[in-house]
Chains A and B, each alone.
Chain A
Amino acid sequence: MTISDWLLDPSGLTPHGFCLSWLPGLIWLHAGSDAVIGLSYFSIPLTLAWFVRRRNDLAYRWVGHLFVAFILACGLTHVLSIMTLWVPAYGAEGVVKAVTALLSVATAAMLWPVVPRVLALPTPGQLSRLNVELTRTIQEQERTAALLRESEARVLAANSELERRVAARTAELSAANAQLTEVLAERAAALEALANSEAEYRASFEAAAVGKVQVNPETGRLLRVNNAFARMLGYAPADLAGQVDWRALLWAEDRAAEGVEFARLMSGEANDYVRELRFRRRDGSPVWGRVSATLVRKASARLPPLLLAVVEDIDTMHKTALALKESETRLRLAAEGAKLGVWEMDLARGLCWVDRRTAAMTGGTLPAETWFSLDGPEYAAWADWIHPDDREERAGGLRLLQMGAAELVQMQYRVRRADGGLDSPGDAPGDAGEHRAPWIWLSHRSAIVARDPVTWTPTRATGVLIDVTERAEAEAALRVAKADLEQVVVERTAALKQRDLLLREVYHRVKNNLQVIDGLVMMQSLQLSDPEARQALMGLRSRVYALGLVHQQLMTSPDLETFDIAPFLEELASNILQSGAEVGITLDLDLCPLIVNLDFAIPLGLLVTELITNSLKHAFPNGTGTITLSMRRRDEGGVLLVVADDGDGGAHLMESGAAKNGAAEGRTGGYRRGLGGAIVKGLVAQLDGTIAMRFDTGTRADIILPTPVAAP
């Protein structure tokens, strides 16, 4: 019997199915149940094995492995149970069962001692509690560590601060020490120098440019003064040293205040004494000096202390400072009075400063009285306030200044009105009248006030800003008014031209008519045989001629209204003489220029005509002689016109009539009767003048007339 026979068919036994009578129901019940159990028993250890493999932290892993082995073995017994239904492999089945048994026993046996140990293992609940506790402990530990570190750092910091302080204090101490050493050395040197060269000291005292004084502080008496001090006060040193009290040299008003300070120095309360005060010059005028005084206590107590004072002449400086202050005040008043805004520009640092008025003009865009950056938002906002059309001009001007190309720039530009107005120039509505322009005009003058001494680029500029809106608007209004006026002038000129034309025409016609009248008179006279009648008509023609000549002169004058009467009188007189029959009569003329108008010229022309005609008619029986015509301005006002002849005064005419009344009484130059006399009297009256006739040497008429209005 082979081993395989033993295993599969040990004794020719019948399969197990036989015992079940091959009843299919029983057979398949057994086979099915065993199959299910077997598969389950294969599945359980598989999962168990998987679990154990993954949980490699498990205690007693080998228990798991035992369970796997014995359950697998159990599963195998059930497979063999199915097999034995049809194959009598009872040997194999037994072997398997034996193995299973061994495994089971082993497992069972081993489990007993394990259980108490497994029970001793902590549960997950316990573990998590433990975990929480552990975490807390750890946190606490960390906190403690942090506190520890912190305090450590503090200690470190405190330590280094301490070290630093120690170092600083050490440095200070060593510096002070060095200084002290230096001072001591200096002092020693100075003392040495002082001791060694008293002569040198005296020389320096005497020759110093500043005033030096030694005073006995107890008596106040000047012990020594140098030249500079004496000169400052207008004395010679000998006048002061040992002669004068220190206080006597002070300006009275400063003396009292000075006394208090001086007392403090004397009492040792103050170590030095520095004051600016006035001295009284010899001539009584004040002079400002800066006094630096020290009280020197001599080492040997027997010697009295000594007051040493250095007196600088700060009169000019002081007065300059006063003048500067005054001029600043004046400037500020001027700026306020003129409503000037003030700018300052620090070009080197790119900063700008404006006063309150400028800030107000910019509508508060720029801050007042503080320095701000030219690149900052305030300045950019201000640039937006400027009229777009004017920005370029302003920027150009400022560029010139910043580059230093111009010492002074003047710009005029518009900025938005601070108290409102409209947003843009295009918005201006048609409702003029009440409407205010949305822009104001600013006049901006800036000048460079400081330059870099090396590169010569401008570092500082200052400027003033004036609101010139009113002026600009007034100028615009003026321009309009001027244009209107020019139009009026053009119209007036045209009207005047028209008037001139008319006047010329009138004068022309008047003259033509006078010529016609003259012709008529002449023709009439040709008809007359009576010489007296012809003479009368001749006189008429002279008068007509005078009228015509006035119009002729008027036509040549530029304004058609006035002319110089001198050439007129000359022409008139010459023509009257020419028209007379006599050729031996000469004319002596002495006429000043006199501008007259028609109303003055016509009566005067007629007057002269009458007088000359009369002379021609009566004065010269021999047909020879001189007629004098002169006109001059009188110093006491008015015009003196003289018409005279050197004839016989008409004496020859009166031989028969008035001889017995005496020559002087009867000589009337032919004026007693006739038209001529009446005309002369009437015309003089018309001219508001006076006439005086003299007949002693020839006939002489002195006519005084008021200066005509037209005469300049």
Chain B
Amino acid sequence: MSTLEDCVLVVDDEFLIAETLSIQIRDMGLTVCGTAATAADAIAMAKAQRPRLVLMDMRLKGAGDGVDAALAIHESVGSKVIFITASREPATLERINMDHPAAILYKPVFGRQLQTVVRDVWAAAAQDAAG
């Protein structure tokens, strides 16, 4: 697998949520390489930017959901994906697990939850890249 960039792609169709997540990522000293609101945009940006990590919302605007986008990105780019979903329904979780996500966060994501999870996943990803 080719090398990945040290940046994070944020995918959420709600501008404010995407923005909040971006702020928190930047607070941690990481780079946000872009935000996408649809599955197609997300795949295209991931292919272009090759981010190490993707924060993926489940419900997206337009055709396809977060799992579709995550599967495609996983296949073509190999980024780690953290799902952020407002739904805890078994059907949704089953679908998310198809992609073997690095982590799942449930909205509302609060306080240090995001930082903790992102830090752990980032470390694992960096170790993979080094290995």
Contacts and interface: CB of A to CB of B under 8 A. Distances in A.
Asked if A and B bind, the verdict is yes
B89 interface: yes
Interface string B95-131: 0000000000011111111001000000000000000
Contacts of B21: 519
B41 interface: no
A598 interface: no
A709 to B, nearest CB: 25
Interface string B1-44: 00000000000001011011101100000000000000000000
A508 B14 CA distance: 13
A504 interface: yes
Nearest to B14: A516
Contacts, number: 77
Given A516-B16, A516-B17, A523-B23, A578 B112 contact: yes
Interface string A500-539: 0000100010011011101110110010000000000000
Given A519-B20, A522-B23, A523-B20, A575 B88 contact: no
Given A522-B20, A522-B23, A512 B110 contact: no
A212 interface: no
A290 B16 CA distance: 111
A249 interface: no
Contacts of A518: 20, 108-110
A195 to B, nearest CB: 110
Contacts of B24: 522
A417 interface: no
Contacts of B14: 512, 515-516
Nearest to A578: B112
Interface residues of A, number: 27
Given A515-B17, A523-B20, A555-B87, A548 B111 contact: no
B24 to A, nearest CB: 8
A189 to B, nearest CB: 106
Interface centre among A512, A541, A545, A552, by most B CB within 10 Å? A512
Nearest to A571: B106
A571 to B, nearest CB: 10
Contacts of A523: 16, 19-20, 23
A697 interface: no
Given A516-B16, A519-B19, A548 B88 contact: no
A471 B41 CA distance: 71
A691 interface: no
Nearest to A581: B112
B108 A514 contact: yes
Contacts of A526: 23
A235 to B, nearest CB: 88
A549 B14 CA distance: 20
Q: Name the prevailing secondary structure of the B interface residues.
A: loop
Contacts of A411: none
Nearest to A522: B20
B7 to A, nearest CB: 21
A579 B110 contact: yes
A511 B108 contact: yes
Given A511-B108, A512-B14, A515-B17, A556 B113 contact: no
How many chain B residues sit at the interface, stated as a range, is 20 to 34
Contact of B16 (A520, A545, A555, A578): A520
Given A555-B88, A556-B88, A541 B111 contact: yes
Nearest to B107: A515
Nearest to B21: A519
Contacts of B16: 516, 519-520, 523
Interface centre among B107, B113, B116 (most CB of A within 10 A): B107
A544 B20 CA distance: 15
Given A508-B86, A515-B86, A545 B111 contact: yes
- Which of A519, A522, A548 neighbours the largest number of chain B CB atoms within 10 Å of its CB? A519
B20 A578 contact: no
A515 B116 contact: no
A544 B108 CA distance: 9
A519 B111 contact: no
Given A519-B20, A552-B106, A575 B111 contact: yes
Nearest to A516: B16
* From B17, B20, B59, B89, residue with most partner A Cβ within 10 Å: B20
Contact of A511 (B19, B20, B23, B86): B86
A549 B110 CA distance: 10
Contacts of B59: 508
Given A520-B16, A578-B113, A545 B108 contact: yes
A563 to B, nearest CB: 11
Contacts of B106: 552
Contacts of B17: 512, 515-516, 519
A511 B110 contact: no
B89 A504 contact: yes
B23 A548 contact: no
A504 to B, nearest CB: 7
Contacts of A522: 20, 23-24
Interface of A: 504, 508, 511-512, 514-516, 518-520, 522-523, 526, 541-542, 544-545, 548-549, 552, 555-556, 575-576, 578-580
Given A518-B110, A552-B88, 7 more contacts: A508-B86, A518-B108, A548-B108, A555-B87, A556-B88, A576-B111, A579-B110
11 contacts: A504-B87, A508-B59, A508-B86, A515-B86, A518-B108, A520-B20, A523-B16, A542-B111, A548-B107, A552-B108, A580-B111
Question: Lowest 5 CB-CB distances: which A-B pairs, in order?
Answer: A579-B111, A519-B20, A548-B108, A545-B110, A511-B86
